Amino acid sequence: MDSVREHLQIFTRRFGLLNASCCDECCGEQVSMAQSHILFEVRRAGSPAMQQVSEALGMDVTTFSRQAKALEAKGYISRRVSADDRRVALLGLTDAGRQVLEKIDVYMAARIEKVFGQMSSFERETVVRSLGLLNVALVEAAQDTKQEGAVACCK
């Protein structure tokens, strides 16, 4: 199993997943990795509740709330009260948030294409299929350990 961990650790470093902030060549804004994930999840989910995004990202509510406030202060997300339950805050992307996320999308697509460009179509399909299997296995393993989507976590 050590080689699996080693491969995952090295992949994380080489792909830049440990970078604290989005760099100038990406979107030109100071967007942390966590904030990038929040923007992505808000877009993916439509108009999600804050709790829903926090849970989807496996982020504790306090950390998530702080990151969401920072994104709101930058004008990237908006918050509104749910008509169904006034205790629930719903999130949405602003035009500025969509623009930043589009820049991140373009940058990430180019990086992914650069990596996948080194592979044959069979190898690409194999990697994509394997990533799908790995994601399913992560969800199942997290359910078994009650870690809310995180398996490699030091809580």
pLDDT at 21 over 60: no
Q: What is the pLDDT of residue 28?
A: 66
Q: What's the whole-model pTM score?
A: 0.79
pLDDT digits (tens, 9 = 90+) for 67-105: 999 999 999 999 999 999 999 999 999 999 999 999 989
pLDDT digits (tens, 9 = 90+) for 45-66: 999 999 999 998 888 889 999 9
Q: What is the pLDDT of residue 138?
A: 86
Task: Please write down the long-range contacts of 40-49, taking CB distance under 8 Å and 24 or more positions apart.
Answer: 40/101, 40/104, 42/77, 42/91, 42/92, 42/93, 42/97, 43/93, 43/98, 43/101, 47/90, 47/91, 47/92, 48/90, 48/91, 49/82, 49/88, 49/89, 49/90, 49/91
